[in-house]
Amino acid sequence: MSQAKTLSENEIQQVLNCVGEKKFGVRDRALVLISHYSGMRVGEIASLTVGHVLDINEKIKSEIRLTAEQTKGKHPRTVFVSSKLKAELANYIQTIRVDDKERALFTTQKSPRRGFTANTLTQHFLNIYKAAGIDGASSHSGRRTYATTIASQGVGLRVLMRLMGHRNVSTTAVYIDANDNMLRNAVELV
């Protein structure tokens, strides 16, 4: 099985332009960007509630704390929320009910309180990328793009490993695509 496509900035913009024209564009934009800006797995995103992202003052938190039950490896972890992601979540949060902190962050028409399951969200991401004309992209593309983007900025593999929620650095290394810009920048270090 081939790995999910790592998206370029232009391809991410192409996806955002496409979802912006849809009925649930604000939600889908937030879904795409939480994937690309946090590196969370699709199951982790599907498990988020309003209370995971909003503090008691209804401001976006700087950290999302995932329980062991929410993570693939059954180890709790902290997801750090960048200023870009905070802005996107703040925009999205204005469009949903926030009075129930246990309510799903990303709701569906069929199940507004529970929201997406990991499987339905996986299919939803496939449909989003297909509609945008991005071949080879899947629900894991955001995670791979996140890892590659951070690595291209020179962040060490051990730091990236912690951000990704991995227990082994060799697992993290598989996520990073060495693109031409990274290679160009690397040779300039000599």
The rounded average pLDDT for each run of 10 residues, N- to C-terminus, in the chain (190 residues) is 87 97 94 97 97 96 96 93 97 94 93 90 97 96 94 88 89 82 78
Cα 176 to Cα 7, 22, 40, 91, 108, distances in angstroms: 12, 31, 15, 30, 32
Report the largest interatomic distance among the alpha carbons of the chain, rounded to a whole angstrom. 56
Answer for the pair 85, 30: CB distance below 8 angstroms, yes or no. Answer: no
The candidate with the shortest Cα–Cα distance to 54, out of 46, 63, 42, is: 63
Answer for the pair 173, 39: CB distance below 8 angstroms, yes or no. Answer: no
Q: What is the pLDDT of residue 174?
A: 86
Q: What is the pLDDT of residue 181?
A: 76
Q: What is the pLDDT of residue 186?
A: 77
The Cα 58–Cα 54 span in angstroms is: 5
Please write the tens of the pLDDT for every residue from 4-24.
999 999 999 999 999 998 989
Q: What is the pLDDT of residue 111?
A: 83
Please write the tens of the pLDDT for every residue from 65-90.
999 999 998 999 999 999 999 999 99
Residues contacting residue 73 through CB under 8 Å, at least 6 positions apart: 165, 166, 167
The Cα 45–Cα 149 span in angstroms is: 20
| Helical axes 118-131 vs 141-152, angle rounded to 10° | 70
The Cα 49–Cα 56 span in angstroms is: 14
The Cα 32–Cα 16 span in angstroms is: 8
Single pTM value for the model: 0.91
